[in-house]
Structure 1
Amino acid sequence: MKATSTFVTRPLGKALSVGLACALAGWLGSAQGAVKKSTEDEKEKSKTESKQTEKISVPVKPPAKAPAKTTAPAKKTTPAPAKKTTPAPAKPKAEEKPVEKSGEKPAEGGKPPTADMGGSASTDTKDAAPKDVTSSSKASSDGHNDSEMHGPDPEEEAAEKAASAARAKAATSTTTSRDMAGWELIRYQERDYVSAASIHRFYRFNELKENGNSVWFTSPVLIMKGTKGSHELLINNIKFVMSYPMVELNGKSCISRLDLCKLIDPVLRPSYIGKGSTFDTVIIDPGHGGHDSGAKGIYGYEKDYALKLAYTLKGILEKQGLRVMLTRTNDTFISLGGRVAYANKVPNSIYVSLHFNSGGSSATGIETFALSPQGSASVYGSNSSDGYAFRGNQRDSENIALATAIHASVVSHFKLVDRGVKRARWHVLRGLERPGVLFEGGFVTNATDARLIAADNFRSELATTIAQAVMNYRRALQPGKRPGSR
């Protein structure tokens, strides 16, 4: 069945110039760098993430090793890295959904709860520009109590899932082809996919190029690369892990509609998020504390490094004119539910949870987490999906934009191994009513990373980089300053 999609172009400034805004904000590096490294990236694909970090210009002195503790500290668990999977057989058949003509009855039913990417259907799409289908439906704010990150109370977990199901039902809406006017929509494995050609046209990329399994979207300031069969998406050489892999359907490269809405659009067009507004307060959450030491490293404990980084970051942000509050100010244990409750009481704020990673001695690099969107898997990298919606999903677009700002700034500045902007349903993120992320600033169990993390001058520079990213994020979300607007 051939799709009878209608494509109508947008004004150039409204789509492409937002990529320039991202690049200028320091989120995504430069397109020139992406071009220069494109061939190298293809060659480096087969290398593992365990390679050692490049030498950093920050001078550090090896600190003394941490004394042994009589009791083994609690070790923070980090989800296993996403495995790349190839969905179903090659070139599967899928149901193409042509854009409906005006006056035709919308399709109904049979769709899993995903982002509501379109409003009410237009009565006349003949001469209209492609509809902006990237706005997210917001989950209702009926509550649940956040508890432990990896071991919640069974009764609380049951209540949380019941509330989630109610939110999912309320947020679910039937989407028709008319909602996707100007887009090529394909249904596959109970999910909607959008063709690469549609994305290319809407965002006014100069070129769409395919080479084997690699798909490139290029413009003078932005290069986006996906790989068929892979969850990995590179935007100006910054790694993102999508909810679902890029697939080839009926001979067309496609990206899931959920990833278009919840990842690509907020990253490329942060000022279009809509609900995003200025904030005057940053809640910094130093991970662990007290009897919960977090990861035990070569030179010290995660809880101590997180608190030191938090205090340094606090001082820098306050000099920028922001109000800063810490969830803990000393070596005290605070439950994850207590941290979330504290953050939710502070209006006009964002939340940054600071952690350091643990793993095998070869594991290295930076990763940043935002909450998994409704309709994706609970664990990043999985092809499964569920309908859970949590308080934090009200801020999906802001969450991924904040994660992008921090992650891209740190990776680009220090040239550390990029483990990606990822999604997971950490309990510390699920209950938030504010934009929030969880940042992992390297591995205390890796010799190179641990030496850096234990050095005061490295943590100081890391705090400076995060602070600059927060200010970039704040500027990028300014309402009324959308690139290309008149």
Structure 2
Amino acid sequence: MTKIWIDAGHGGKDSGATGNGLVEKNWVLAIAKQLQTELVNAGFEVGMTRTNDTFLELSERAKKANGFKADLFLSIHFNAGGGKGYEDYIYTSTPAKTAEIQKTIHKNVIARITKHDMRDRGMEKANFAVLRETAMDAILLEAGFCDTTDATILKSPVYQQDFCAGIVAGVKDIFGSGVTKYQAGKFSTSNDAISGKNIKGYLAAGTKVFVYKETEKTLNITTTKGIPGSWVLKTEVNTGKR
């Protein structure tokens, strides 16, 4: 199973950036927990740097992720300093694969947050410890600036949902939708999946999949990215029904 590590920045004695009633350590922890839920529901195994208001040194964060043998490290932050917009970072010297992963995450996040008037500040590189000391592909995401008009956007639950949705969509694009924990019935059409008719077989537990298309109640799941597959009920994947 693909493993994702979520690093909620700061914590404990380190509040991170503050402004306009926002405290970074609290905001990023809430986002980290939301991401954890959504990624687990998508079939990924998720590790967390912290799940409460705890301080950890930067090297300890990387060490925990390395011990987990994560496939991707996501460090969640927001900014201060008078700017505006979202940006993300990878280490100054990384394989081309890491840069491609950054592009995928960035594209998916921006696609969902620009409607909130959050500016795109681009993709950057930096010598941050959590990027330098992690053994896997690692990205640090800065969700906006707490000390400018971005603060109003950061406080919006809808923005927070879309920010998380962009990250999850990017992870799915990179790795597929994790794996199915339980078998799910495969159907020819979305309506067939809803009615339970014309079953084609079963998607075996542990299958690595990509989502080709999605409706309110169903997913078209494929084992080959970009190629249509079979329809399954959302309520069946990872629940053990049928």
Q: How does 1:78-477 map to 2 (within 5 A)?
A: 280-360=2-82, 363-373=83-93, 393=94, 396-415=95-114, 416-447=118-149, 449-475=150-176
Quick one: higher RCO (CA 8 Å, sep 6+), 1 or 2?
1
**Secondary structure at the counterpart of residue 439 of structure 1:** strand
Q: How many residues align?
A: 178
Q: Does the C-alpha gap of structure 1 residues 399 and 330 become closer, same or farther in structure 2, counting only changes over 3 Å?
A: same
Whole-angstrom distance in 2 between the partners of 1:398 and 1:350: 12
1:365 Cα deviation (Å)?
0.6
Instruction: Give the conservation status (yes or no) of the 8 Å contact 2:112–2:162.
Output: no
What is the RMSD of the two structures over their aligned residues, measured on CA atoms?
2.0
**Secondary structure at the counterpart of residue 345 of structure 1:** helix
Specify the code of the residue in structure 1 equivalent to 2:76.
L
1:467 Cα deviation (Å)?
0.5
1:433 Cα deviation (Å)?
0.6
1:289 Cα deviation (Å)?
0.4
Whole-angstrom distance in 2 between the partners of 1:454 and 1:358: 15
Specify the code of the residue in structure 2 equivalent to 1:434.
M
Whole-angstrom distance in 2 between the partners of 1:454 and 1:348: 30
Runs of 4+ in 1 over 4 A off after TM superposition: none
Specify the code of the residue in structure 2 equivalent to 1:469.
G
Specify the code of the residue in structure 2 equivalent to 1:399.
T
**Secondary structure at the counterpart of residue 108 of structure 2:** helix
Specify the code of the residue in structure 2 equivalent to 1:437.
I
Instruction: Give the conservation status (yes or no) of the 8 Å contact 1:366–1:407.
Output: no
Whole-angstrom distance in 1 between the partners of 2:102 and 2:36: 18
Whole-angstrom distance in 2 between the partners of 1:334 and 1:451: 29
- The structure having more radius of gyration, on CA atoms, is 1
**Secondary structure at the counterpart of residue 368 of structure 1:** strand
Q: Can you list the C-alpha shifts for 1:105-134, whole angstroms capped at 9, x where unaligned?
A: xxxxxxxxxxxxxxxxxxxxxxxxxxxxxx
Q: Can you list the C-alpha shifts for 1:366-419, whole angstroms capped at 9, x where unaligned?
A: 11101112xxxxxxxxxxxxxxxxxxx4xx223212211111111122223111
Residue identity (%): 31
1:359 Cα deviation (Å)?
1.1
Q: Does the C-alpha gap of structure 1 residues 440 and 348 become closer, same or farther in structure 2, counting only changes over 3 Å?
A: closer
1:340 Cα deviation (Å)?
0.2
**Secondary structure at the counterpart of residue 352 of structure 1:** strand
Specify the code of the residue in structure 1 equivalent to 2:42.
Q
1:357 Cα deviation (Å)?
0.7
Whole-angstrom distance in 2 between the partners of 1:407 and 1:430: 20
**Secondary structure at the counterpart of residue 73 of structure 2:** strand
TM superposition score normalised by structure 1: 0.35
Specify the code of the residue in structure 2 equivalent to 1:302.
E
Give the match for residue 204 of structure 1: none
1:456 Cα deviation (Å)?
2.5
Whole-angstrom distance in 1 between the partners of 2:45 and 2:87: 26
Q: Can you list the C-alpha shifts for 1:22-75, whole angstroms capped at 9, x where unaligned?
A: xxxxxxxxxxxxxxxxxxxxxxxxxxxxxxxxxxxxxxxxxxxxxxxxxxxxxx
1:297 Cα deviation (Å)?
1.6
